[in-house]
Amino acid sequence: MSHEPVAVSAPSPVSPQPWGLLGSLAWGAIGILAWFSVQLAVVTAVMVYRESNAPGSVDMQKLATDGFLLALVTIVAGPAWFGVAALASRWRGWRVRDYLALVPPSRAELAFGFACMAALLIGFDLLTYVLGRDVVPRFMTDAYLSARSAGALPLFFIAVVIVAPITEEVAFRGFLFRGLSESWLGVAGTLVVTSAMWAAMHVQYDSFTLGQIFVIGMLLGWLRWATGSTLLTIILHVIANAVACLQAMIKVEYFS
């Protein structure tokens, strides 16, 4: 009697464990340090260049809303933070794409995410208007005006609409979410922690706007968990920042 050989399927590869709570926070701190160090180097170089060409021209109070400088440091420093996240992912034995959840969302997920973000942004604008506050934060109008006077609006839009969302989403909803959500914090704790950390980055805004940023972070984090896609949160973040830039442009160009 002949026996057919039984095919034995190879076990599917198992992904290594992600960085834990302390490892994720440590790598996150390294990413922030690299990001800040590059920003400081760029700011210092620009200040030295301006001072050498026009002594006494550097106004320290205006640097915070210098549209050209903000755009430049965002574009140059962003890759440093991304690089640290990629290095940490590879060091743990993961493909960068998988660790950071850089997978395309489905059309249904994209539509649902867009609807959620649109509803939230409209709701925030209505609440801001009802409370008698400016829909466009002062920081945005000052930065826009500064970038326009420097002829750097294209650079400003690239930084705010493209580079900043990619950098921040990779850091918070990509790298940190992966490690923290599988720690004792769980998904709920990770949503709160990453949203609070992300909001704390935006020190240029007042507490009211920071509260809105925190809520947006909660939505983005929940969508990252529900869909498994950081690319979705990047797209939605791009849309939100594009709306903010458009509102600033409309206010400055047509209502000032």
Domain assignment of residue 98, yes or no: yes
> Is 4 part of a structural domain of the chain?
no
- Res 181: pLDDT: 96
Mapping DSSP onto H, E and C, the string for 23-86 reads: HHHHHHHHHHHHHHHHHHHHHHHHHHHHHHHCCCCCCHHHHHHCHHHHHHHHHHHHHHHHHHHH
- Which is higher by pLDDT, 5 or 46? 46
Q: Is residue 3 part of a domain?
A: no
Give Cβ neighbours of residue 108 (< 8 Å, ≥ 6 apart).
Answer: none
Q: Grade residue 10 by pLDDT with cuts at 50, 70 and 90.
A: very low
Backbone φ/ψ region at 14: left (φ over 0), alpha (ψ -120 to 50), beta: beta
The label of the residue with tokens 């794409």 reads 97
Report how far apart the first and last C-alpha atoms of the chain are (Å, whole number): 93
pLDDT in tens, 111-127: 999 999 999 999 999 99
Of 48 and 198, the structure prediction assigns the larger pLDDT to: 198
Domain assignment present for 11: no
The answer to whether residue 13 is domain-embedded is no
Domain ranges, residue 144: 21-254
Model confidence at 149: pLDDT above 80: yes
Residue 10 domain-assigned?
Answer: no
Please tell me which of 1-10, 185-194, 201-210 the model is most confident about, judged by mean pLDDT.
185-194
- Structure confidence at residue 14 (pLDDT): 66
Measured distance CA(74)–CA(71) in Å, rounded: 5
Inter-CA distances, 228 with 57, 72, 103, 104, 225, Å: 49, 32, 8, 9, 5
Output the pLDDT for position 3. Answer: 46
Q: Is position 6 within any domain?
A: no
- The per-residue pLDDT for range 95-105, each reduced to its tens digit, is 999 999 999 99
pLDDT tens-digit series, residues 34-84: 999 999 999 999 888 888 877 766 666 677 778 899 999 999 999 999 999
Mean pLDDT for 232-247 is 97
Instruction: Kindly report, residue by residue over 157-170, the tens digit of the pLDDT.
Output: 999 999 999 999 99
* Rounded CA Rg of the chain: 21
Cα–Cα distance measured from residue 147 to residue 250, given in angstroms and rounded to the nearest whole number: 15
Contacts 24+ apart (CB under 8 A), 238-241: 238/161, 238/162, 238/165, 239/114, 239/117, 240/117, 240/121, 240/165, 240/216, 241/160, 241/161, 241/164, 241/165
Provide the pLDDT for residue 57.
Answer: 66
Binned at pLDDT 50, 70 and 90, residue 11 comes out as: very low
pLDDT interval class at 2 (50, 70, 90): very low
Q: Which residue has better confidence, 61 or 214?
A: 214
Query: Is it the case that residue 12 has pLDDT exceeding 70?
Result: no
Length of the chain: 256
% of the chain beyond a pLDDT of 90: 82
Total number of domains constituting the chain: 1
Q: Is residue 1 part of a domain?
A: no
